[in-house]
Amino acid sequence: MGKNGYLPLFETKPAGGLVFFRSYAASIFIGICFICFHRVSYFPVTERWVWVGMFVAELWFSFYFFITVIVKWNPVFRSTFKDRLSSRFEEEELPGVDIFVCTADPRLEPPTMVVSTVLSVMAYDYPPHKLSVYLSDDGCSDLTFYALLEASGFAQLWLPFCRKLKVEPTSPEAYFQTTPEPVDDVFMANEWLIIKKSYEDMKNRIESITSLGKVPAYRRKEHNGFDEWDFVLSPHHHPSILQILIDGRDPNAIDIEGKALPTLVYLAREKRPQIHHNFKAGALNALAFDNLTENEIYGSLRVLMKLELAGFDGNGGPCYVGTGCVHRRESLSGMKYSEELAVELKAMKYDKKIIGSASFNEEDCKALASCTYEENTPWGKEKGVKYESLVEDVLTGMSIQSKGWRSVFFNPQREAFLGMGPTTLLDTLVQHKRWGEGELQILLSKHCPFVYGRPNMPLKLQLSYCIYNLWAPNCFATLYYVFVPSFCLFRGISLFPKISSSWGIPYLYVIFVHRVHSLVEYVWLGGTVRGWLNEQRMWMFKRTTSYLFAAIDHMLKLFGFSKSAFAITGKVADDDVHRRYEQEIMEFGTWSPMFTVLATLALFNLLGLIAVVTNNVAIGDARMKIFDVFGFQILLCYVLVFINLPIYQGMFFRKDSGKMPASVTLQSVAFALLASTLTIY
C-alpha cells in the first residue's frame, strides 16, 4: 500500500545475477591489467610502432569495455499493474494522449504498413475521446493520404472487433498473419472471416493504387482533401496539408456499434527548396523490429533494447531512442522540472474541449505546420524535437533530462511497439552509418553529455551515453585489429606472446571469457547461438564500414566539405530479396564502397591465412614452432575468415541476383593482391 492509501501502479526490481556479472567484469579488468603490463614490459626493439598501435587499440577496447560495464552495472526492470488504474482514476481524470506515426517515403515505407500501424494505435484500450492519432507524412504523398482515408473507414469495423475479441496484436496485418481462425464459435468465426476479408480488400485497393503511382480521378472525388495536392509541386516543394479525417468531438464519428472513434489527422509540413526542413520525420520508425528472421541475419538491437536501456534506467534514466516512447507534453515544451511544477501537474485537470469546427481548426493549424513558423522561436532549439543532429531523438531526450526530467524504461513481455527492420545488408550498414555519425556529432558538439548534461544528469548517466556516442570512433581500433595482424603475418612479425608463454594466459582468458559472456547474455535475452554469431559478424561489418564512413563524413562536415543528409532505409523488398531474407541469405546485389571495404579486408585475411598454411606445409618439422610464435595471430586470422564466409560465398559461389557485384569483386581482388604484395616486398 502506498503513502496515499492506494496500491502501487508499478514496481521496480534490480536485475538478477548482478554478483556474477560484477565478478566477471572484475576478472576481465584484472586480465586487462596483465595485458597492459605485458605490452609495456616487452616493448620490442624493432617494429615498435606496430606494437604501439596494438597497445593503443587494446587500450581503446578496454576503455569501451569500461563504458559497457558502467551501463550494465545496475540495470532495473519495471512491471505494471494496469488493472489497478481504474480503481485510482475515473475515466475523465485520465490525460489526453496524442500519438504520432511518422513516415517519409511511400516507396520505402509502404502505405499498407503505415496504416496498419495507425489502426493498431487507434485500437488502444483507452477512452477514444482522450486519444488522437496523427500521421506525419514527410513525403507529402497522396498515396499515403489515400491509404489513411481507407483506414479511417476500416476503423469503424476494426475497433469493435478488437474490443470484442480482445485482439492482440492490434495491428491487423500482424494479427491476421499470426492468429488462426477461431473454430469453437461459429458466429465469431464468421465475423472473423468478414473482418479479414474487409482488411484484405482494403489492402488490395491500397496496394493497387500504390503500384499505379497515383490516385485515380474517381478516387480523388471521394474526398475534397485530394484538392490540396493540386498545389504540390514536389515532395520537397508544397504548402502545409492538414486534414482531420476523424474528428473525435463530432457525435457522428462513431463505429458500427455506436461507440466514439479517436481523432485521426493527416499532416504534411510545408516544404520550400530554400528552407531547411530538419528531417523531423522518418527517424522514429526504426527500433523494436517486427520482421527479424529467427537468427537475425543482419544483427539486432536485442541487447540495446532489453538490457542496455535498463542499465541506463539504473544510472538515471534511459535515453530517447526515437520509437515506443511516451512524453509528457510539458517536458517537450522546454519546461524545467521542479517540485513546484510537479505539484501543479498533479492538480491539473485534463479537459480537451476545443471550440470550433474541424474545418476551422484545419485552417487555423496549417500555419503551425508552415516551414517558417519556427523561425526566431525556441522550437527545435529549446522546445520540441531538436534539429541539430541526425539522431534528433537522442539529442531531444538528453535535452529533456538536462532540464531535470526523469525517464524510465518499461519493456513489457509482449512488445508494445513493433516496426520493420532493413532486409538487406546495405540498408543495415547505411542505417548504422547515419546513427554512428549522429552520435559522433553530439559528442563533438556543445551537446556533449559531459557539458550539456550538467548538473541534472549524474556522471554515470553521462558516461552511459558514450556507449553510443563512441560508435564511430570504434572503427579505428577495429580496423587496426582486422588488418595489421594479418599484415604482420606476411612480414613474420609477432604481435602477441608465444602460446607456450605464461603471458598468453591473460590474452586467452580475456578473449574467451568475454565472448562466452556475450553468448550467454545474448541467449538469456531470447536470442539463438546462430543469431549471436550473426551479431558478431555484423559487429565487425558495422565497425569497419558504417562507423568508418560515419567518422569520415563527420570530419568532412566539420571542415565544411559536405552537409548532413538524411537517409531513409527501405522497409520493403521485391519477392526475390524477401525470399533470400527469409532464408537468411545475405543480400549484396548492388555496388557500394562499403562492400568494397568489406570484401578487400576479407580477401586480405584469407590470403594471410593461405600464406601461413602454405609455409607450414613447406617447413614441416617447424610447424609447431611457427604456431607457438604466431598462434594468436593465426587464430585471429581464422576467426576473421570464418566471420567473412558470407562475403566469400557472395563473391565466388553464388549465382543469384543478390550475389556480390562483379565490379566489387574485381576491385577487392585487386586491392587485396596489391596490399599483400606490398607487405611482402
Name residue, grid cell 560508435. Answer: 471
- Residue 501: count other Cβ atoms within 10 Å of its Cβ: 14
Query: Helix or strand or coil: residue 535?
Result: helix
With a pLDDT cut of 70, the percent of the chain lying above it is 89
Least confident window among 169-183, 365-379, 404-418: 365-379
- Residue 213: count other Cβ atoms within 10 Å of its Cβ: 9
For residue 259, being part of any structural domain is answered with: yes
Identify the pLDDT of residue 140: 87
Residue among 235, 191, 145 nearest 568 (CA): 235
Alpha helices, DSSP H only, in 73-168? 85-88, 111-122, 142-165
pLDDT band at 351 (very low <50, low <70, confident <90, very high): low
**Predicted confidence (pLDDT) at residue 506 exceeds the cutoff of 50:** yes
Over residues 106-116, the pLDDT tens digits come to: 887 889 989 99
Query: Which three cell numbers, joined as nine digits, stand for 138?
Result: 514527410
User: Are 293 and 582 in contact, with CB atoms under 8 Å apart?
Assistant: yes
Over residues 389-401, the pLDDT tens digits come to: 888 889 999 999 9
Work out the end-to-end distance of the chain between its first and last CA atoms, rounded to an integer number of angstroms: 77
- Which are the catalytic amino acids? 138, 393
Least confident window among 294-298, 330-334, 614-618: 614-618
Identify the pLDDT of residue 364: 62
**Predicted confidence (pLDDT) at residue 417 exceeds the cutoff of 70:** no
Chain center to CA of 563: 23
Antiparallel, parallel or unpaired: β 263-268 and 241-246: antiparallel
What is the pTM for the complete model shown?
0.86
pLDDT mean over 8-31:
93
CA distance readout (Å), 448 to 338, 402, 442, 452: 24, 11, 6, 6
**Predicted confidence (pLDDT) at residue 283 exceeds the cutoff of 50:** no
Identify the pLDDT of residue 325: 85
For residue 88, being part of any structural domain is answered with: no
| Alpha carbon distance 473, 497 (integer Å) | 27
Identify the pLDDT of residue 606: 95
Query: Which three cell numbers, joined as nine digits, stand for 331?
Result: 517536458
- Residue 5: count other Cβ atoms within 10 Å of its Cβ: 7
Annotated binding site: 109, 138
For residue 231, being part of any structural domain is answered with: yes
Identify the pLDDT of residue 418: 65
Antiparallel, parallel or unpaired: β 10-14 and 76-80: antiparallel
Classify 140 in phi/psi space as left (phi over 0), alpha (psi -120 to 50) or beta: left
pLDDT mean over 20-33:
97
| Alpha carbon distance 500, 631 (integer Å) | 10
Identify the pLDDT of residue 414: 74
Identify the pLDDT of residue 628: 87
Least confident window among 66-80, 105-119, 463-477, 659-673: 105-119
pLDDT band at 284 (very low <50, low <70, confident <90, very high): very low
455 preceded by a cis bond (ω within 30 of 0): yes
CA distance readout (Å), 443 to 64, 331, 603: 15, 23, 34
**Cβ neighbours of residue 678 under 8 Å, at least 6 residues apart?**
none
pLDDT band at 523 (very low <50, low <70, confident <90, very high): very high
Over residues 527-566, the pLDDT tens digits come to: 999 999 999 999 999 999 999 999 999 999 888 877 655 5
- For the CA atoms of 543, 549, 550, 556, what is the dihedral angle to 10 degrees? 150
User: Are 174 and 116 in contact, with CB atoms under 8 Å apart?
Assistant: yes
**Predicted confidence (pLDDT) at residue 279 exceeds the cutoff of 60:** no
Pick from 85-89, 94-98, 341-345, 467-471 the range whose average pLDDT is largest. Answer: 467-471
**Predicted confidence (pLDDT) at residue 359 exceeds the cutoff of 80:** no
pLDDT mean over 19-33:
96
Query: Helix or strand or coil: residue 455?
Result: coil
**Predicted confidence (pLDDT) at residue 224 exceeds the cutoff of 80:** yes
pLDDT band at 143 (very low <50, low <70, confident <90, very high): very high
pLDDT band at 285 (very low <50, low <70, confident <90, very high): very low
pLDDT band at 353 (very low <50, low <70, confident <90, very high): low
378 preceded by a cis bond (ω within 30 of 0): no
**Predicted confidence (pLDDT) at residue 272 exceeds the cutoff of 90:** no
Share the mean pLDDT of the chain.
86
Identify the pLDDT of residue 521: 95
Name residue, grid cell 597492459. Answer: 36
Over residues 602-611, the pLDDT tens digits come to: 999 999 888 8
pLDDT mean over 65-91:
90
pLDDT mean over 320-326:
83
Annotated binding site for UDP-alpha-D-glucose: 109, 138
CA distance readout (Å), 176 to 147, 167, 308: 19, 10, 33
Backbone φ, ψ for residue 312 (5° rounding):
-55, -40
Q: Which residue has the higher pLDDT, 678 or 536?
A: 536
For residue 474, being part of any structural domain is answered with: no
**Predicted confidence (pLDDT) at residue 469 exceeds the cutoff of 90:** yes
**Full residue range of the structural domain in which residue 204 is found:** 96-103+105-278
Q: How would you label 314-345 residue by residue, b for 16+ Cβ within 10 Å and e otherwise?
A: bbbbbbbbbbbbebeeebeeebebeeeeeeee
Q: Which residue has the higher pLDDT, 327 or 463?
A: 463
For residue 239, being part of any structural domain is answered with: yes
Name residue, grid cell 544483427. Answer: 299
Identify the pLDDT of residue 444: 92
* Torsion 433-434-436-437 (CA) sign: positive
Identify the pLDDT of residue 235: 76
pLDDT mean over 10-24:
93
Least confident window among 175-189, 268-282, 472-486, 629-643: 268-282
Identify the pLDDT of residue 617: 55
For residue 423, being part of any structural domain is answered with: no
User: Are 430 and 123 in contact, with CB atoms under 8 Å apart?
Assistant: no
| Alpha carbon distance 511, 638 (integer Å) | 14
Over residues 555-596, the pLDDT tens digits come to: 998 888 776 555 555 555 577 888 898 899 999 999 999 999
| Alpha carbon distance 466, 443 (integer Å) | 8
**Predicted confidence (pLDDT) at residue 620 exceeds the cutoff of 70:** no
pLDDT band at 266 (very low <50, low <70, confident <90, very high): very high
**Predicted confidence (pLDDT) at residue 421 exceeds the cutoff of 60:** yes
For residue 142, being part of any structural domain is answered with: yes
**Predicted confidence (pLDDT) at residue 658 exceeds the cutoff of 60:** yes
DSSP label of 188: H
For residue 216, being part of any structural domain is answered with: yes
Q: How many separate domains does the chain show?
A: 1
